[in-house]
Structure 1
Amino acid sequence: MSRHHGYLTFVGGRHLSRPLSSALEFSAQWRANLTAVNTRLYAVPSPPQVASAFVLQHLLSIPAQVSAFAAVTGPWHADLGTLDDSRISCDLAPGLYPERLGFLSLRPAAPELEERIAAAGTAYRALGREIAQAYDGGVKVSTRQRLGMVDDLWQMALREARGAAGQGLGPAVERRSCCFIYALPGCHECAGCPRLSDTTLGPRDE
């Protein structure tokens, strides 16, 4: 799987430094560390909602990327486990994003690509919703933001997997959630940001 991906390394058969449950437990310190990095890089106090959104994205990216890349580059189905029985894990890069993703096992999956993708998406969303609901963001995080991010991270991982497999990247994902990167100096909304398409979206909805 790793040879297909531009910035992630997939490691099979063992846990890396942070199993998923450990990464979730680390999220408060992860947010604090990321806020400190952003404050140093941008030379202004970083709004806490930026790190809150990014850490949730990073947590969801662990099962999303493993599941999507196994399905698209397979024919495999990744065993994601549960929050109580982590079957996936990560190592963080110095920039505090996952750079290596671990999985304990893959099993053969349906030969039809779209059937594999559907099954992978179902497994990911079940775990992703658990993560989103269990996550303490340190700031108010609406249901729209939490569940929207679950869907967004799947679509983003699937888009990257299809692109890596030579199926074309396609257009940017039209997101339901916001990462708040625009709140940092010199930054602006991402392609597909809901702020660019939904004029009714305000801070309380995000």
Structure 2
Amino acid sequence: MQLSRHLAVLEVRVADTGDPDLGVSLSAAVDIAPRWIETYRDLTIAQSGSAPAGMPAAFVLQYLLDPIASTIATAAAVSHVALDADAGRWSIGLDPIYLYPVAVQLRAADDRLLVDREERLEVARAGYLATATDIATRLPTPTRMSSRQRLGMAEDLWQMALARVAGEPPPQRRSCCLIYALPGCAPCAGCPRLR
């Protein structure tokens, strides 16, 4: 798919009728997330010696939302299409060892052709945020995750996706991935701790 050329680290696939979902269906994200968070926690401990409370859940939420944010924002920015963000059409393929997204698959839906760039970006953003907010709000986490973190992550990933497409540095975030709490790691670009 042409969109994959703009998303260097994420393969974009359009599913044919009968194609299975990739590893994680967004419509089942809330059901799958607890196991994914636990497995990601164990993987982080094996790699870094610790997994700070809240960090595995923050990464899983980011991994759920970033592929759809990146794909929808890129399509809206580089084409005339505002992709339908309905969770039922999206699934994410994960790296088999490190569990981060490597592919996103979408099924046929009611995508909108909009020539006006500002209108297209607003329609795309509204659709993405509706799906992302639902996932972020309902995501079960083993430790408390504030609404600022959840909803901030949804908005942050949209802004980060637009910045990548424009070749701009990451914007200041409202949410935190907590990577700074791992041994030897520093806050990432845009971290709210750097304000």
Question: Is this a same-fold pair by TM over 0.5?
Answer: yes
Q: Is the Cα contact below 8 Å between 1:24 and 1:59 reproduced in 2?
A: no
Alpha-carbon distance in structure 2 between the residues aligned to 1:120 and 1:193? 25
Alpha-carbon distance in structure 2 between the residues aligned to 1:24 and 1:160? 27
Question: Aligned residue for 2:46?
Answer: 40
How far 1:111 moved relative to its partner? 1.2
Alpha-carbon distance in structure 2 between the residues aligned to 1:108 and 1:123? 11
2:103 is equivalent to residue 100 of structure 1: yes
Report matched runs for 1:1-206 at 5 Å.
1-14=3-16, 15-42=21-48, 44-82=49-87, 86-93=88-95, 94-105=97-108, 107-162=111-166, 169-197=167-195
How far 1:61 moved relative to its partner? 1.4
SS class of match (2:54): helix
The aligned length equals 187
Alpha-carbon distance in structure 2 between the residues aligned to 1:45 and 1:19? 29
Q: Is the Cα contact below 8 Å between 1:35 and 1:48 reproduced in 2?
A: no
Cα RMSD (Å): 1.5
The superposition leaves residues 9-62 of structure 1 with CA deviations (integer Å, 9 ceiling, x where unpaired) of 0001343232112233111111111111111111x2212311011001111113
Q: What TM-score, normalized to structure 1?
A: 0.85
The superposition leaves residues 64-87 of structure 1 with CA deviations (integer Å, 9 ceiling, x where unpaired) of 1221122122211212214xxx11
Q: Is the Cα contact below 8 Å between 1:91 and 1:98 reproduced in 2?
A: yes
Alpha-carbon distance in structure 2 between the residues aligned to 1:25 and 1:159? 31
Q: Is the Cα contact below 8 Å between 1:87 and 1:104 reproduced in 2?
A: yes
Q: Is the Cα contact below 8 Å between 1:78 and 1:103 reproduced in 2?
A: no
Which range is displaced more, 188-197 or 67-76? 67-76
Alpha-carbon distance in structure 2 between the residues aligned to 1:68 and 1:150? 13
The superposition leaves residues 132-155 of structure 1 with CA deviations (integer Å, 9 ceiling, x where unpaired) of 110112111111111111110111
Alpha-carbon distance in structure 1 between the residues aligned to 2:68 and 2:122? 15
How far 1:191 moved relative to its partner? 1.2
Q: What TM-score, normalized to structure 2?
A: 0.89
Q: Which runs of 5+ in 1 are unaligned?
A: 163-168, 198-206
